[in-house]
A and B are shown apart, each in its own frame.
Chain A
Amino acid sequence: MAEYEYIEQKTEVSRRAFLGILGAAGAILWSGIYITTDIFQDRNKYIKMRAKGLYKDDTISKIRQSHNNHAVAAMYKEFAQKPLSPLAEKLFHTHYIDRTKLS
């Protein structure tokens, strides 16, 4: 048990000050959460708008599947031979890149 003769004067935090600090902390926290969720929602909003636009394009298209697309069929016929041909593999297949890492 510590023995001492002197102490620092107590700083009383009154109820008013306590509520003030709590209010300020709450406001900062709330603003932070609001801004963060807003940024996240904005990002998701553009993704959803893009998806909606693509679905809309699909809906109004007469040909909706790639294997029925005349341009694709012509490209295979005149150039890439058939789907999964060595040339098609070489040109169209991509490799996985982990983009979750920052650098």
Chain B
Amino acid sequence: MQPEPKVLKHELSSRLFHWGLILGFLPAALTGIIIWLKPGSESFVNLAMQIHIIGAIILTGSSLLYAVFALDRVVVFIKHSFSFDKNDLDWFIVMMLRGGYIKKIVFRKEVEIPPMGKVNSGQKMFSILLLFGGSFLMFSGWILWAFIPFAPKIIIYWLNMGHLLFAIALTMFLCVHIFLGVYFRDEFKAMFTDGTQSLKVAKEHAPVWVDREVIQVKKTAD
């Protein structure tokens, strides 16, 4: 039996950046909740703050490295995230308003989904939030860490409030992202192994992307 043709979905730079997000954002989010709710002793919260800073360093460092060394991927990410058409509206109606995800995941029913590009409409929302929210979290976080005694209280108050609200929103989206990422095993494998996915699966999940943006580089063995 011939092996199925594969498409490179996530380049090495994107997979490494994704690891940066995992190692940076996850500990920062968990310790952020501890710093916010203070469930333990003062030394426990202080330890959480130290881990929070380490997470922030990894997050900021990996974002800067990705922006410098994989600028073309950042451009593609922004292009994919901000391209909307009628299919996106239909996607929201089918998946969110008419309970498409619940039918698909809970009741295991086939749901007819409008054709999507590399990222679907829900992922676009997450990407936009990640772009603006993530940038704000990093900016406000470093100001809060270094400049509280020097900055006007009103500025610090709103930076702190924005930091908290964006962090809550991103953490909630992250929970959904992790669940769906693990649920759709092909997507999980593509991101955590060699970045490839079978062309058949890619056509099923992202037909617009395969039609418009994917090109053949090697002859398939047929």
Taking beta carbons and an 8 Å cutoff, which residues of A are in contact with B?
1-13, 17-18, 21, 32, 36, 39-40, 43, 100, 102
Contacts and interface: CB of A to CB of B under 8 A. Distances in A.
A11 B74 CA distance: 10
Contacts of A5: 5-7, 199, 216-220
A4 B214 contact: no
Main secondary structure of the interface of B (DSSP, over half): mixed
Interface in B149-184: 149-153, 155-157, 160
Contacts of B152: 39-40, 43
Nearest to B12: A2
B148 A100 contact: yes
Nearest to A10: B72
28 contacts: A2-B6, A4-B6, A4-B8, A5-B5, A5-B199, A5-B217, A5-B220, A6-B6, A7-B214, A8-B8, A8-B215, A9-B214, A11-B79, A12-B72, A13-B71, A21-B71, A32-B139, A39-B151, A39-B152, A40-B150, A40-B151, A40-B152, A43-B151, A43-B152, A100-B149, A102-B148, A102-B156, A102-B160
Contacts of A40: 147, 150-152
B69 to A, nearest CB: 12
Which of A1, A11, A40 has the most chain B CB within a 10 Å cutoff? Answer: A11
